[in-house]
Copies of this chain bind each other. A is one copy, B any other.
Amino acid sequence: MSRTLYDLKSLDGRRLSPFGQRVHLALRHKDLGLDKVELVRFVDKDAIAFAKSQSVPVLVDGDKVVADSWRIANHLEDTYSDRPSLFGGEAGRALARYFNNWCGIWLTAEIASFILFDMLQHLDEEDRAYIRRTREPRFGPLESLNETREARLPSFRKTLDPLRLTVKQNGNLHGAEAGMADFMVAAAFHWAEQSSAFALLTSDDPLYSWSKRINGQSP
């Protein structure tokens, strides 16, 4: 049985999809390897059309095709239930869904507003045009985001206070051991770090070392 992940392609090997990174972290947690990683650009819609999806990640796990990182996490949890759990039971799964929604509705868009312009340098010309075309209706000219980001930073950091306190108290969101809730949120910070040199978090922020640890880099 073969396992292939379709993930986002950058110019320089950086992981620029927070949702792809979630899947890497979930696979590592379950100690499941990949036989192949297919890197596709934003514009390569044809390459993932077989999954009836417009975006990566797509996981092909044997004869099963699963698109969307939340659905992939659930597939892995249910298919490999004898391996370390991503959710820690049904209540953990239900509450993790909140973090999936929080990331989808708020955190990802918020982080985008700090790093999207810088991310362009890691994409080829066609993907740059794609990002401009799809994101500027929402965010305005991406250059302008960088002009206001310093001023917006304190409020962003403050909104993370409940997350920060929980990580301090528990060790991770999910408890002493990290789980899918951690992977989803930390993957968003990984995306920021891969895309831009702009420091979203100060190095003495507990969320900084937590994110580094979750993403498997030394802090």
Asked whether, in the complex, the Cβ of A90 is within 8 Å of the Cβ of B88, the reply is: yes
- Decide yes or no: A169 and B97 within 8 Å by CB, A87-B91, A91-B91, A105-B162 being known contacts: yes
Whether A120 is near chain B, meaning CB under 8 Å from some CB there, is no
Among residues 134 to 188 in chain A, which have CB atoms less than 8 Å away from a CB atom of chain B? 161-163, 165-166, 169-170, 172-175, 179, 181
Asked whether, in the complex, the Cβ of A91 is within 8 Å of the Cβ of B92, the reply is: yes
Query: What does DSSP make chain A's interface, helix, strand, loop or mixed?
Result: helix
Among residues 61 to 103 in chain A, which have CB atoms less than 8 Å away from a CB atom of chain B? 85, 87-98, 101-102
Among residues of B, the one whose C-beta sits closest to the C-beta of A181 is B95
A166 to B173, CA, bound (A): 17
Whether A198 is near chain B, meaning CB under 8 Å from some CB there, is no
Whether A106 is near chain B, meaning CB under 8 Å from some CB there, is yes
Asked whether, in the complex, the Cβ of A94 is within 8 Å of the Cβ of B161, the reply is: no
Return 30 A-B CB contacts under 8 Å, by A number. Answer: A85-B91, A87-B91, A88-B91, A91-B91, A91-B92, A91-B95, A91-B179, A92-B92, A92-B95, A93-B175, A94-B166, A94-B172, A94-B173, A94-B174, A94-B175, A95-B98, A95-B173, A95-B174, A95-B181, A97-B170, A98-B162, A98-B166, A98-B173, A101-B161, A101-B166, A101-B169, A104-B162, A105-B161, A105-B165, A106-B162
A155 to chain B, nearest CB (A): 13
A90 to B170, CA, bound (A): 11
A214 to chain B, nearest CB (A): 14
